[in-house]
Amino acid sequence: MRFFLGLDGGGTKTACALCDEDGLIVGFSVGGPSNHLSLARGEEALREALRDVVEDAFSRAGIGRPRLSAACLALAGVGLDGRSPVAARVACEVVPADDIVLENDAVAALVGATAKDWGVVVISGTGSIAVGIDREGRRARAGGWGYLIGDEGSGYDIGRRGLTAVARAHDGRGNYTILVEKALAHYRLDTLDGLRSVLYRSETKAKDIASFAPLVVAAACEGDAASVDILQTAGRELGLSAVAVVKALGLEDEEFDVAPCGSVFKAGQLVVGPFRSELLRAAPSARIVSPRFPAVIGALMIALRRSGRVVDGAVLSNMARGCLECGLPVGDVGEATCEGKD
Amino acid sequence: MRFFLGLDGGGTKTACALCDEDGLIVGFSVGGPSNHLSLARGEEALREALRDVVEDAFSRAGIGRPRLSAACLALAGVGLDGRSPVAARVACEVVPADDIVLENDAVAALVGATAKDWGVVVISGTGSIAVGIDREGRRARAGGWGYLIGDEGSGYDIGRRGLTAVARAHDGRGNYTILVEKALAHYRLDTLDGLRSVLYRSETKAKDIASFAPLVVAAACEGDAASVDILQTAGRELGLSAVAVVKALGLEDEEFDVAPCGSVFKAGQLVVGPFRSELLRAAPSARIVSPRFPAVIGALMIALRRSGRVVDGAVLSNMARGCLECGLPVGDVGEATCEGKD
């Protein structure tokens, strides 16, 4: 029996899955962060993180430590061209495989979410990015510039706009919003004068700001005009990033899948509505699909295909079963489309 | 002869001036930062910074070390109400004065810039803030929320919007702007793909981003539409912060001075024009005045007034002479109004 490895490594955690040639998942593990660009000790930290999570996956699989036919490591610190000398060196040391593919993590997210080898993915969590691949394998990205100058439509962006609305309302530069009350409660403050010291004394600023995004969603659900506007703007921005990818690849007149992934889309129609409008205006035949598999399974698919294995319906249903057993989120394996949760 | 001390302490540097009861400046010195809220060792660092700069001013003055009649310490880490237990404790230890006034640094900037004890100041450098004082001494502020959720119209805001325009143009989410070429040259990059690592590997992020603002000004002068829009938006935002202060103090129908201070206003009409329009719409009798004295001289004025000394024309011209001798910037001592530099 041949075995394959898929790995999805980001700034927060790393997931690793092993499967056989029929797509049956035999081992799964989750470890610490593995973006070597953001880790203090860089290459050394990446080596440790990958070694730990891969060893863990092997020991859970109970298949010994066979040499793998192929492995795909999808890492946040790898460019869209799959190149990273550091990650390539570490991967060869840590993963015992005949063939190792390095990928950007968004590419694995795209393959997993669409269960295809081409299409568009728009990811919006703390940060945001859109990545597309066409039938010929050409790639394009938009967004992903980080919280300082980009990440439009992300949780960070939504949180920042929410807190800015609070500051403006407090000064009298902007209209009142119930976000003022929500900010006071969230940060456990008596007055907003304490907000500066709360925000600027912390180290993990981007995540702190993003943690305010769910309160913007809650306020929007209560009808707060400022919050509704922030979420609709986020949706449009995410749509714009998808459109930029579509245009770069010349997909305007094609039928293709677009998978919206990440926590921000869980806000539902307030985000998904403007996202869809913006996208369909430029690409009327685009299909917005609910994400089917997580990125770690996308990485497995890439590894299987690399070794010549066709990822057919039988493989996909084995993978779906494996995901359920491992507690991994898995969408409808049919041709479901996502209209957002209202 | 009685002597007075004025001090202006911020996150970058601290200026200290000594004068006699006629406003003649006898000693002046500049030292390191003294915002105890942003310094790593807080109170201890504040004590050292104040002691150094005060001792330096005394030794340059050559007046020995007489007990001062009054001193005003205007510090970035002090609230608009002049309260700060830490700063008060340190000031009493370090400054030998019969009377010590603590102030927010923007209040000293207001008094120095207008050479009056009431009016409005709008400061826009790396960050931005507006502060107003009415005839009765009531105070209001707007802005000053820092780079994460505020600082609209600041050098940081202008730099961030400029770099965001670069990222959007690169992705195809926005129109082309000559800021793309300027960013490549400024950061010495062959392609914009390197921009992320340049921006996120650095420690002093707000200042780094603000350092791109002069390039936005340069691009606007070359007619770049995106840059012109960014500067006009900044001007409007700074006008809005002034208006918020005006409304909080009920100054809409009064004649009063508004002093625009800080490097952003040096961009000229592109910023000052929208700033003036926004301000005059709410307060048609407001007078936009060119800043007359720096904040450290404003602190001296507060100290003189505290001891009962009237800051009259004779005192002001002595101060102006002293500023020229110390190499301090000093504006027209007449009733000049600032229409911005074109």
Instruction: Name the H helices within A65-211.
Output: 85-94, 105-114, 146-149, 155-171, 179-186, 195-201, 205-210
pLDDT band of residue B16 (cuts 50, 70, 90) is very high
Q: A327 or A132, which is more confident?
A: A132
Quick one: average pLDDT of A88-96? 92
Helix (H, G, I), strand (E, B) or coil at B46: helix
pLDDT at B204: 67
Provide the mean pLDDT of chain A: 91
Torsion of CA A26, A30, A31, A33, to 10 degrees: 120
Last-in-domain residue among A291, A306, A337: A291
B153/B141 same-domain check: yes
Quick one: average pLDDT of B34-58? 84
A57/A191 same-domain check: no
- Which residue type does B191 have? T
Instruction: Answer yes or no: is pLDDT of A299 > 60.
Output: yes
pLDDT band of residue A39 (cuts 50, 70, 90) is low
B-chain residues within 8 Å CB-CB of A167? 145, 149-150
A168/A316 same-domain check: no
Rg of chain B in Å (alpha carbons): 21
Q: In CATH, what number is assigned to the domain containing residue B240?
A: 3.30.420.40
pLDDT at A118: 96
What range does the domain containing B81 cover? 3-115+292-326
Spatial distance between the Cα atoms of B162 and B173, rounded to a whole number of angstroms: 14
Helices A313-326 + A295-306 axis angle, to 10? 140
Q: B341 or B39, which is more confident?
A: B39
Among partner residues B149, B164, B248, which is closest to A164 by beta-carbon distance?
A: B149
Least confident of A172-186, A198-212, B173-187: A198-212
Structural domain tally of chain A?
A: 2
Q: Are B14 and B31 in contact (CB under 8 A)?
A: yes
- Which residue type does A73 have? L
Instruction: Answer yes or no: is pLDDT of B309 > 50.
Output: yes
Instruction: Answer yes or no: is pLDDT of B37 > 80.
Output: no
Angle at B100 between CA B52 and CA A201, to 5 degrees: 65
pLDDT at A10: 84
Domain assignment present for residue B336? The answer is no
Instruction: Answer yes or no: is pLDDT of A2 > 50.
Output: yes
Token pair recorded at residue B210:
């603000």
**Nearest residue to B282 via CA among B132, B79, B104:** B132
A139/A224 same-domain check: yes
End-to-end Cα spacing for chain A: 45
Give the residue from B148, B158, B166, B211 with the most A CB atoms within 10 Å of its CB, the best one to mutate: B148
Domain assignment present for residue A302? The answer is yes
How many C-alpha atoms does A239 have within 13 Å on its Cβ side? 23
Interface of B with A in 207-266 (CB under 8 A): 209, 240-241, 243-244, 247-248
Instruction: Answer yes or no: is pLDDT of B227 > 80.
Output: yes
B43/B150 same-domain check: no
Interface of B with A in 175-204 (CB under 8 A): 193, 195-197, 199-200
Q: B89 or A200, which is more confident?
A: B89
pLDDT at B323: 87
Quick one: average pLDDT of B304-321? 94
